[in-house]
């Protein structure tokens, strides 16, 4: 096996078609540092893992994340115990990933989620598990493997090579993520709030308040983040149909995406679009069916703000500078790799990206100006609060108590400068009918700061 790892390490920049990659999943490759796939049935996990995770990763596992929709830790434990590495399970509201059954990206939503807002909700429970397998860093390999950390561990910083962080935290413990997503030492963050997180320790599952996959910069890889303003259009657009195409335009020649990470509000999916899998299909429209996706439906999303959208390929922005909390949004991370050994990153890439970001801000401003509610309209700001200080009910408040009139977006949590949680709650009223849906999450600890 040592010789096989060495061979992988020397394989500096193969083309995806030439390096033995699966015909149906780009992350099945001897040069990959991450592999991902989705299975709908628990009993399919062992064989799917063997077929969709290349031996160069399988025999050098650093860690595995299991994103679960409908399966418990107890059900996943027999498989997890065979892996021989760190295993984290994220219990989700739904998942988006590359299916081993259909050989394309699909969305599996939790049944009825969203009906609490009068939305359709998925009619069927679609259970499934996404596997994200991370390779150990191999000596002398210029490809840098992603790093998985939890709340009790150090997460790599910008100075330590971080390109971006994929952050997950339970909705019931949102403040746990703030030290990372608003950090002035860490890279830009994306991700969202889930139900629960557990790490396997021996034979027991220990609850976690945070887990993060940190993507590391290398000479061969590029990372970019963007979010969707399309939710504010009268006729909602796919994130990929707007921002995604702009991001694709700026990808330098000689590089191609190898996987995409997509975290979206659970009020999107079939709650927003007429059919299932629309955002998954949108990704394929731009980058093709070979490109696997992994991610989840969220109760509040973490992503870059409208002023820096997209963040830019291998951006040096800190989390504090660009990361915000979102609602009814889709957050996407694109990871690309060099396949042409002669390819270089253009010197004018940053200026090209700046122009693209300006185009996106203009489009976002136009959409929000056209579709934003009037100042007198009520917006949803909270529901089913996890705080003992608040009642378990829907709340509404004046739009401009949570909006930023001179900003190309809506600050779903508070105005700049901060409105304390109790004051914000005092301004709200019990509300069953709303003029405009803005935010479906009230912070578990309303006294903590916001962006």
- Domain endpoint, select from 331, 362, 393: 362
Residue 367 inside a domain? The answer is: no
Q: In this structure, are 403 and 255 located in the same domain? A: no
Do residues 330 and 225 share a domain?
yes
pLDDT in tens, 163-219: 999 999 998 787 788 889 989 999 999 999 999 999 999 999 999 999 999 999 988
Give the Cα-Cα-Cα angle 363, 234, 292 (nearest 5 degrees): 70
At 125-165, the pLDDT tens digits run 889 999 999 999 877 778 899 999 999 999 999 999 999 99
Distance CA 317, CA 186 (A): 9
Give the ranges where 323-433 is alpha helix by DSSP (H).
349-371, 421-427
Q: How far apart, in whole angstroms, are the C-alpha atoms of residue 272 and residue 288?
A: 23
Pick the more confident residue, 435 or 328: 328
278 and 392 part of one domain: no
* pTM: predicted TM-score of the whole model, two decimal places: 0.81
Could you tell me which residue, 425 or 260, shows the higher pLDDT? 260
Mean pLDDT, range 369-395, rounded to an integer: 43
| 39-to-100, 128, 279, 333, 439 alpha-carbon distances in Å | 6, 6, 19, 22, 31
- Among 170, 159, 267, which Cα is nearest to 214's? 159
Whether residues 157 and 290 fall in one domain: yes
CB 297 within 8 A of CB 92: yes
Domain of 215?
A: 2-362
Contact 264, 279 (CB under 8 A): yes
Q: How far is CA 356 from the centre of its chain?
A: 22
Residue 21 binned pLDDT confidence (cut-offs 50, 70, 90): very low
Instruction: Answer left, alpha or beta for residue 406, where phi above 0 means left and psi between -120 and 50 means alpha.
Output: alpha
Same domain, 355 and 405: no
Phi, psi of 309 (to 5 degrees): -135, 105
SS3 300: coil
- Torsion over CA: 370, 307, 436, 415 (sign): negative
Residues 101 and 139 in one domain: yes
Q: Is 241 helix (H, G, I), strand (E, B) or coil?
A: helix
């Amino acid at each position: 096996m040592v010789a096989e790892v060495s061979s992988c390490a020397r394989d500096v920049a193969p083309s995806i078609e030439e390096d033995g990659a699966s015909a149906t999943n780009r992350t099945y490759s001897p040069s990959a540092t991450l592999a991902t796939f989705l299975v709908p049935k628990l009993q399919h996990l062992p064989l799917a893992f063997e077929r969709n995770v290349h031996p160069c990763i399988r025999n050098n596992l650093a860690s595995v994340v299991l994103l679960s929709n409908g399966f418990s830790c107890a059900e996943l434990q027999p498989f997890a115990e065979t892996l021989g590495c760190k295993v984290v399970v994220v219990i989700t509201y739904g998942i988006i990933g590359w299916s081993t059954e259909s050989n394309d990206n699909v969305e599996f939503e939790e049944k009825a989620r969203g009906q609490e807002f009068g939305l359709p909700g998925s009619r069927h429970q679609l259970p499934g598990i996404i596997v994200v397998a991370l390779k150990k860093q191999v000596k002398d390999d210029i490809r840098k493997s992603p790093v998985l950390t939890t709340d009790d561990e150090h997460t790599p910083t910008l100075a330590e090579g971080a390109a971006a962080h994929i952050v997950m935290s339970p909705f019931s413990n949102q403040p746990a993520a703030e030290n990372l997503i608003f950090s002035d030492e860490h890279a830009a963050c994306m991700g969202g709030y889930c139900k629960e997180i557990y790490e396997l320790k021996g034979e027991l599952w220990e609850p976690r308040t945070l887990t993060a996959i940190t993507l590391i910069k290398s000479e061969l890889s590029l990372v970019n983040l963007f979010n969707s303003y399309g939710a504010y259009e009268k006729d909602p657009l796919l994130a990929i149909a707007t921002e995604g195409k702009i991001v694709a335009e700026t990808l330098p020649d000689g590089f191609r995406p190898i996987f995409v990470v997509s975290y979206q509000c659970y009020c999107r999916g079939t709650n927003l679009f007429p059919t299932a899998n629309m955002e998954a299909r949108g990704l394929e429209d731009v980058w093709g069916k070979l490109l696997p996706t992994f991610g989840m439906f969220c109760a509040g999303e973490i992503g870059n703000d409208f002023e820096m959208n997209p963040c830019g390929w291998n951006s040096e922005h800190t989390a504090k500078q660009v990361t915000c909390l979102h609602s009814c949004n889709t957050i996407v991370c694109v990871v690309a790799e060099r396949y042409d050994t002669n390819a270089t990153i253009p010197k004018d890439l940053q200026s090209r990206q700046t122009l693209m970001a300006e185009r996106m801000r203009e489009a976002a401003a136009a959409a929000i100006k056209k579709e934003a509610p009037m100042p007198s309209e009520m917006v949803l700001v909270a529901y089913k609060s996890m705080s003992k200080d608040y009642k378990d009910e829907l709340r509404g408040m004046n739009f401009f108590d949570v909006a930023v009139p001179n900003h190309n977006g809506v600050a779903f949590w508070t105005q700049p400068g901060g409105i304390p949680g109790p004051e914000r709650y005092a301004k709200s009223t019990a509300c069953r009918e709303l003029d405009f849906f803005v935010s479906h999450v009230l912070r578990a600890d309303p006294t903590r700061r916001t962006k």
